Amino acid sequence: MTRELLSAGRVVITGLGAVTPIGNDMETFWRGAVAGKNGAGPMTLIDGSPFTSRIAAEVKDFHPESWMDAKEARRLSRFLQFAVAASDMAIADACLDLKSEDRERIGVLIGSGIGGLDILSEQHAKQLKSGSGRVSPFLVPYMIPDMASGYVSIRHNLKGPNSCVVTACSTGANAIGDAAHVILRGEADVIVSGGVDAAITDIGVAGFCAARAMTTRNDDPKKASRPFDKERDGFLIGEGGGVLILESIEHAKARNAKILAEIVGYAQTADAFHITQPDPKGDGAARAMSLAIRYAGLKPEHIDYINAHGTSTPFNDRIETVAIRRVFGEHADRLAVSSTKSMIGHTLGACGALESIVCVKALQNGVVPPTINYEHPDPDCDLDYVPNEAREMPLRYAMKNSFGFGGHNVTLIFKRPDG
């Protein structure tokens, strides 16, 4: 879909909600991101001792009973608990009065890269111990990734378009971009959109460790996630959920909503190269950024800030840097580039949504959060990564990159609202 075909429409963001390793509400999350708060520590959700990576960025002090009754909380898998909390937060933040809205014009598009690994692991253990007759009837519905969208839709009686994106670590950004297109096509006025994941489980950690993708800096967890730093050795697994309320600008203005930002660019491409490794030339990532800029009707020099995918893996950080230089040329040296994963780890299907929220808050406040743990410059990663301290600067356009296993590349561009 080209920008020309959608030129009559505009999509804005009016509400935000987040559950993260550095805060379970928007104020705490944003304050922590600006301060460079570190969410890493030894694993407590599981026994990490059997694994090569025994550290994580876990969501702490999260009480699902604050968002639902205790019986419901016990049944739901952790990623669904995050989806409920973040969605309820975002709806409240948008001051969206659902009782007065046409709920057939409000949709939900919340993605998850992996879904309910916790309930799968729990019920598989029960099957092995007690037999198949003891497996919970809630296993499948509370495991499948699309239930985040389905459950939030049921919870709020939202009857518009309802879908789920699953594109690994690109999921959250993909969901936001696809939701914007649903609105631009006229199929909905409002979409509750974002990404959630909770994969700090025995089988999840075992799989990522087997793939040799995770950091093994177990003796110093606070220094483990170090995007773009020369001594990076793999990603730090995280968890959480981020949800944004997207609206057509006409609908937002009609209800006098506070507009936080506008989505002006979206593109997705494929590397078509390898199931886990990015294209070493950065071709797919570069095309995603270039297409998003063209979609937005901008030039590369209009972009002020890039919230990078920045996983802290040797390949990803170098190749993302290569791709940024391909797209931005000399302007690359004037860009502020930072990775939120340095603080919250890699939250998998949630990262594109949580980091999009960071873009929106950065535009609102004129502050770029830092890349923490940046101590040893890498000649292959030679951009301005906003090392270790937040930076106040004028911002008009922010770009969000998300790249996922399977060669998925997604870029979003956000604009500070006029006035």
Structural tokens at position 375: 């101590």
Phi, psi of 189 (to 5 degrees): -95, -30
Amino acid identity, position 136: S
Tokens of 174: 């993909």
Tokens 């990775």 appear where?
A: 339
Residue 355: closest CA among 16, 42, 4: 16
Where is 293: in which H helix or E strand? helix 283-295
Choose, from 156, 251, 309, 408, the residue flagged as catalytic: 309
How many CA atoms within 13 Å lie on the side-chain side of 360?
28
Alpha carbons 228 and 215: distance in angstroms, whole number: 14
Closest to 39 (Cα-Cα) out of 25, 52, 54, 55: 55
Given 164, 169, 209, 359, which residue is catalytic? Answer: 169
d(CA 171, CA 242): 11
Give phi and psi for 401, each to the nearest 5: -105, 140
- What's the Cα-to-Cα distance from 393 to each of 141, 304, 365, rounded to whole Å? 46, 9, 9
CA end-to-end distance (rounded Å), the chain = 29
d(CA 356, CA 172): 9
Give dist(CA 369, CA 320) in Å, integer. 19
Residue 215, both tokens: 């950091």
CA 236 to chain centre: 15
Which is nearest to 238 in space by CA: 418, 405, 57, 105?
57
**Would you call 346 a catalytic residue per the annotation?**
yes
Phi, psi of 246 (to 5 degrees): -105, 140
Measure the CA–CA gap between 247 and 179, rounded to whole angstroms: 9
- Residue 79 host element (H or E): helix 78-93
Q: Which of 156, 164, 251, 346 is catalytic?
A: 346
Angle between helical axes of 171-184 and 351-365 (0-180°, round to 10): 70
Helix axis angle for 26-35 and 351-365, nearest 10°, is 80
Which active-site residues does the annotation give?
Answer: 169, 309, 346
